[in-house]
Amino acid sequence: MDTIAQEIKTALHEMGRNALIASRVLANLKPEAKNNILNKMADAIDAMSAEIIKANAKDLDAGNKAGLSVAMLDRLRLDEKRVREMSDGLRYVAGLNDPVGRVLSEIERPNGLKIKKISVPLGVIGIIYESRPNVTVDAAGLCLKAGNAVILRGGSEAFNSNMILAKCMNEAGVAAGLPDGAVQLVPYTDRQAISVLLKMDDYISLIIPRGGEGLIRTVVEQSTIPVIKHYKGVCHIYIDAESDLTAALSIVENAKIQRPSACNALETLLVDAKALPKFIEPFLQSMEKHGVELRADERFRKLAPNVKLASEADYYEEYLDLILAVKVVDSIDEAIAHINQYGSKHSDCIVTTNPEHVEKFMAEVDSATVYHNASTRFTDGSEFGMGAEIGISTDKLHARGPMGLEELTSYKYLIFGSGQSRE
Amino acid sequence: MDTIAQEIKTALHEMGRNALIASRVLANLKPEAKNNILNKMADAIDAMSAEIIKANAKDLDAGNKAGLSVAMLDRLRLDEKRVREMSDGLRYVAGLNDPVGRVLSEIERPNGLKIKKISVPLGVIGIIYESRPNVTVDAAGLCLKAGNAVILRGGSEAFNSNMILAKCMNEAGVAAGLPDGAVQLVPYTDRQAISVLLKMDDYISLIIPRGGEGLIRTVVEQSTIPVIKHYKGVCHIYIDAESDLTAALSIVENAKIQRPSACNALETLLVDAKALPKFIEPFLQSMEKHGVELRADERFRKLAPNVKLASEADYYEEYLDLILAVKVVDSIDEAIAHINQYGSKHSDCIVTTNPEHVEKFMAEVDSATVYHNASTRFTDGSEFGMGAEIGISTDKLHARGPMGLEELTSYKYLIFGSGQSRE
């Protein structure tokens, strides 16, 4: 390891130690103390709005020179409104219920031992993310509210924006009683910093990567710390033979068109062959009107020869765009098999009026969220009543689906005895 | 990769695919169907008892020749009683409550969406373990009861025992309706097989390693699949200045002596300096009587000069033997700091009559199970009322402390709509 790598490693381990120490203080802060800190951070961000936008301009300038795409530059951009959204986000989180100290169960054993299971913070959470600087504030706010220290590692393209946001939160936070080390931004844009971070399992309890599939695969490959993530959202709607086709079309439109760049947007439509003849005309008209490019199988193209042919790869694709893969199926079994094979275990929906089919689809589709007669776009912490969300998990361990504040906690067992020994 | 490595990889991926297919059938088996399968497996094990013991004799023979320690040979040994314990274990698990299909929450959103959160199996679980062949049966039984398929990778020293046990369970299981592929034993004792298994995140949802710290570290280092584990159990008892010293001694005796090889046995005793003068004599007598070797700090040795001096390393040590590290502390804060520094986040206890100290210790000791006035030996699934246990976790993700059947499940969200679209 060269000198610079060693220097990064030493500095990151120091950050880890400090975060762990801070997390032990944070874990026992009262809700009001945490909420006060969050509100003070929000005020500081508002007060520094002009400086934040100035720092962001440097990032935009560098991004322009580096030839970032228009979409990436837009994700990177902060203006007064977006700064205000971040500070308001912190205030909103301050107002949510505290997820720490909930009594999850309480039993008394025949030997008189009282065993209480209560929610506690996870400890230190590492967030690894790409270009959006708002993640710096949103993630820090949620982690702190749940009593966790946080180590943030943002993308190099947002470096100046992230640095000033973290500094701002830290100064205001510490002045309001936040322990030093509770919010730290990794000041190294080097990829090596990520590799070091991912082995710091003595300090960090959980890594949440947010970004493209490539970043997330790198994180999973290297991490010795538990990771919660979703690689992508290849979401399906299956239109059953027996279904209200007007409702079906409206759900498809919402799931595909309302925000195609979201992970819970529709990517593949499965249509039962028996529903197709009546469905196809209004569907084609709507998709054309909304500028959606279709990629369909041969059976669909028999009725719509102008539609592009879908390749095998199309059914694995998360387009995040106004493109929709379409496949004709002969049964609910074929639809379920397709979803379990090609899907990403994220959000999948059946449109049907047949109650047995609802039950079968819900039981057999192996996804985090399974819908009957509603748009997949509802997979979201706020829409699920969690207040806010730090991400969506397609894993099965710890948290599945939208992750809110409760999912940022662990638990511990408190056992109260009166001298009991085991026999 | 050489030819043999490629062959192992191909075979293991085939096992993974089959396990995943089986898991989807298992996930929707009725409780009675699963229980019938478990009972039939138990009967088959009893019926094959003589053959199982014969296969085990081969392993013992090879182990003898390979120079395995007496303790290892004992762990490996099966006799009629131990075979019967395995089959009774399956029958016991069959009688427990089914952990699948529990309604964890149910809400209705203002837009009319009904969101139901229900427990579901994890899918495919990989168990990587060392010499005890009973893990083959115990782990398979718990995984199946929770609706999961299981891939077992036992130690090479128990190969013949594990093979016949897996075959026996499989034949009886499949005859009773178990899907093929639900219980599979990896037939490769090569270490490469573990490396391949740990990258099969397309098929396997969870890895549970059971064995020594070395094995577990290898697993964590290599796995791209979530792992739940504990490295070791460095458990503490802190005797506060204000405490019932008779109760204290009885708790220490039980925690250290009753089964020193268990991970929840006491390894380090912290004694408050103010309690020491009255405590030391009966304590020294008891430890001598029970053959416990002490390793203490200089302050303790001022009063007991014959006791061996503890090194820094002793306080990190899991002896699993009749050895006890001892340290004198001046306050509860010092005790808590010691435990959080040297401990393994497993099981730690305070003996005190001071209620504020109970509260402080419970809040600040960052361990899976924290005790007041009871032996750390109670950290166990059965003792916690879970019926049975597949292991103990010192991680904070998904499961912490003893893991029973509920901890072998995940959840999914079922969302029932009537045509809702997101605004």
| B245-260 pLDDT, tens digit each | 999 999 999 999 999 9
Provide the pLDDT for residue B106: 97
Instruction: Using the predicted structure, report yes or no on whether residue A309 has a pLDDT greater than 90.
Output: yes
What is the spatial distance between Cα A260 and Cα B342, in angstroms, rounded to a whole number?
51
What is the spatial distance between Cα B320 and Cα A202, in angstroms, rounded to a whole number?
23
Asked whether the beta carbons of residue A115 and residue B372 sit closer than 8 angstroms, the reply is no
Whole-number average pLDDT of chain B: 96
Identity (one letter) of the amino acid at A335? A
Asked whether the beta carbons of residue B366 and residue A123 sit closer than 8 angstroms, the reply is yes
Provide the pLDDT for residue B191: 87
Residue of A nearest to B219 (CA): A224
Residue of A nearest to B368 (CA): A412
B225 contact A CB<8A: no
Task: Name the minimum distance, in Å, from the CA of B105 to any CA of chain A.
Answer: 11
Instruction: Using the predicted structure, report yes or no on whether residue A322 has a pLDDT greater than 60.
Output: yes
| Position A114 in a domain | yes
Of A27, A205, A396, the CB nearest to B410: A396
A344 contact B CB<8A: no
What does the pLDDT average to over A315-338? 97
Provide the pLDDT for residue A8: 94
Q: Is there a single domain that holds both residue B240 and residue B205?
A: no
Element spanning A98, H or E? none
| Position B258 in a domain | yes
Q: Which chain B positions have a beta carbon within 8 Å of A371's beta carbon?
A: 415, 417
Provide the pLDDT for residue A106: 97
User: Which CATH number characterizes residue A39's domain?
Assistant: 3.40.605.10
Provide the pLDDT for residue A1: 56
Q: Which chain A positions have a beta carbon within 8 Å of B396's beta carbon?
A: 122-123, 205-206, 410
What is the spatial distance between Cα B76 and Cα B71, in angstroms, rounded to a whole number?
9
What is the spatial distance between Cα B132 and Cα B154, in angstroms, rounded to a whole number?
8
Q: What is the ipTM of this complex?
A: 0.95
Instruction: Using the predicted structure, report yes or no on whether residue B131 has a pLDDT greater than 80.
Output: no
Q: Which chain A positions have a beta carbon within 8 Å of B420's beta carbon?
A: 251, 373-375, 378
Q: Which chain B positions have a beta carbon within 8 Å of A102's beta carbon?
A: none
B417 contact A CB<8A: yes
For A:114-133, CB contacts with B below 8 A are 115, 122-123
Q: Is there a single domain that holds both residue B122 and residue B88?
A: yes
Q: Which chain B positions have a beta carbon within 8 Å of A363's beta carbon?
A: 27-28
Describe the crossing of helices A245-257 and A276-289 by its angle, rounded to 10 degrees.
30
What is the spatial distance between Cα A419 and Cα B247, in angstroms, rounded to a whole number?
6
pLDDT tens per residue, range A92-145: 999 999 999 999 999 999 999 999 999 999 999 999 998 789 999 999 999 999
Q: Is there a single domain that holds both residue B251 and residue B313?
A: yes
| Position B273 in a domain | yes
| Position B422 in a domain | no
Asked whether the beta carbons of residue A373 and residue B416 sit closer than 8 angstroms, the reply is yes
Cα end-to-end distance, chain B, whole Å: 53
Q: Is there a single domain that holds both residue B207 and residue B257?
A: no
Provide the pLDDT for residue A4: 79
Kindly indicate the confidence band of residue A197, based on its pLDDT and cuts at 50, 70 and 90. Answer: very high
Of B205, B221, B375, the CB nearest to A420: B375
Q: Is there a single domain that holds both residue A183 and residue A319?
A: no
Q: Residue written as tokens 């094995």?
A: B215
pLDDT tens per residue, range B150-159: 999 999 999 9
Among candidates B143, B199, B24, B215, which has minimal Cα distance to B409? B143
Handedness of CA A162, A168, A171, A174 (dihedral sign): negative
pTM here is 0.95
Asked whether the beta carbons of residue B413 and residue A395 sit closer than 8 angstroms, the reply is no
pLDDT tens per residue, range B406-423: 999 999 999 999 999 999
For residue B313, the enclosing domain spans 235-383
Structure tokens at A50: 């002009």
Element spanning A73, H or E? helix A70-76
What is the spatial distance between Cα A361 and Cα B116, in angstroms, rounded to a whole number?
15
| Position A421 in a domain | no
Q: Residue written as tokens 């085939």?
A: B14
Q: Which chain B positions have a beta carbon within 8 Å of A113's beta carbon?
A: 374, 378, 383
Residue B261 burial by CB count (10 A; 0-12/13-18/19+): exposed, middle or buried? exposed
Contact B197, B126 (CB under 8 A): yes
What is the spatial distance between Cα A132 and Cα A22, in angstroms, rounded to a whole number?
26
How many Cβ pairs within 8 Å bridge chains A and B?
A: 197
Whole-Å CA distances, B279 to A382, A417, B92, B240, B252: 57, 20, 43, 11, 12
For A:246-285, CB contacts with B below 8 A are 247, 250-251, 253-255, 258
What is the spatial distance between Cα A312 and Cα A325, in angstroms, rounded to a whole number?
10
Task: Name the minimum distance, in Å, from the CA of A227 to any CA of chain B.
Answer: 8
A356 contact B CB<8A: no
Identity (one letter) of the amino acid at A196? V
Of A397, A411, A422, the CB nearest to B226: A397
Among candidates A148, A203, A137, A206, which has minimal Cα distance to A170? A137
pLDDT tens per residue, range B12-31: 999 999 999 999 999 999 99
Q: Is there a single domain that holds both residue B156 and residue B239?
A: no
A113 contact B CB<8A: yes
Asked whether the beta carbons of residue B422 and residue A254 sit closer than 8 angstroms, the reply is yes
Q: Which chain A positions have a beta carbon within 8 Å of B25's beta carbon?
A: none
pLDDT tens per residue, range B336-382: 999 999 999 999 999 999 999 999 999 999 999 999 999 999 999 99
Interface with chain B: mutation pick from A102, A259, A348, A414, highest number of B CBs within 10 Å: A414
The count of domains in chain B is 2
Q: Is there a single domain that holds both residue A363 and residue A281?
A: yes
Burial pattern B263-296, b for ≥16 Cβ within 10 A else e, equals bbbbbbbbbbebbbeebbeebbebbeeeebebbb
User: Which CATH number characterizes residue B369's domain?
Assistant: 3.40.309.10
Element spanning A397, H or E? none
What does the pLDDT average to over A148-169? 96
Of A251, A368, A396, the CB nearest to B413: A368
Q: Is there a single domain that holds both residue B143 and residue B224?
A: yes
What does the pLDDT average to over A162-170? 97
Identity (one letter) of the amino acid at A113? L
Provide the pLDDT for residue A5: 86
Structure tokens at A151: 């180590």
Residue B36 burial by CB count (10 A; 0-12/13-18/19+): exposed, middle or buried? middle
Provide the pLDDT for residue A71: 84
Provide the pLDDT for residue A140: 97
Q: Kindly give the pairing relationship between strand B347-351 and strand B235-239.
A: parallel
Burial pattern A90-129, b for ≥16 Cβ within 10 A else e, equals bbbbbebebbbbeeeeeeeeeeebebbbbbbbbbbbbbbb
Query: Beta partners for A314?
Result: none
Radius of gyration of chain A measured on its C-alpha atoms: 24
Task: Name the minimum distance, in Å, from the CA of B410 to any CA of chain A.
Answer: 6
Asked whether the beta carbons of residue A364 and residue B24 sit closer than 8 angstroms, the reply is yes
Distance of CA B234 to the CA centre of its chain: 15
Asked whether the beta carbons of residue B220 and residue A224 sit closer than 8 angstroms, the reply is yes
> CA B203, B140, B97, B94: dihedral to nearest 10 degrees?
140
| Position A395 in a domain | no
Name the strands in the sheet holding A206-210, side by side, starting at the edge strand that comes first in the sequence: A183-185, A149-153, A124-129, A206-210
DSSP conformational letter for A121: E
Instruction: Using the predicted structure, report yes or no on whether residue B76 has a pLDDT greater than 70.
Output: yes
Q: Is there a single domain that holds both residue B196 and residue B272?
A: no
Provide the pLDDT for residue A103: 98
Query: Beta partners for B125?
Result: B150, B206
| Position A393 in a domain | no
Residue of A nearest to B345 (CA): A412
Instruction: Using the predicted structure, report yes or no on whether residue B140 has a pLDDT greater than 60.
Output: yes
B244 contact A CB<8A: yes
Instruction: Using the predicted structure, report yes or no on whether residue B102 has a pLDDT greater than 80.
Output: yes
Q: Is there a single domain that holds both residue B89 and residue B191?
A: yes
Kindly indicate the confidence band of residue A189, based on its pLDDT and cuts at 50, 70 and 90. Answer: confident
Provide the pLDDT for residue B189: 87
Asked whether the beta carbons of residue A362 and residue B414 sit closer than 8 angstroms, the reply is yes
What does the pLDDT average to over A267-275? 98
Share of chain B above pLDDT 90, in %: 94
B383 contact A CB<8A: yes
| Position A38 in a domain | yes
Q: Coil, helix or strand for A124?
A: strand
Interface with chain A: mutation pick from B114, B396, B409, B416, highest number of A CBs within 10 Å: B396
Provide the pLDDT for residue B1: 57
Asked whether the beta carbons of residue A422 and residue B373 sit closer than 8 angstroms, the reply is no
Asked whether the beta carbons of residue A123 and residue B340 sit closer than 8 angstroms, the reply is no
Provide the pLDDT for residue A422: 95
For A:21-40, CB contacts with B below 8 A are 24, 27-28
Asked whether the beta carbons of residue B373 and residue A416 sit closer than 8 angstroms, the reply is yes
Q: Is there a single domain that holds both residue A160 and residue A257?
A: no
Q: Is there a single domain that holds both residue B220 and residue B199?
A: yes
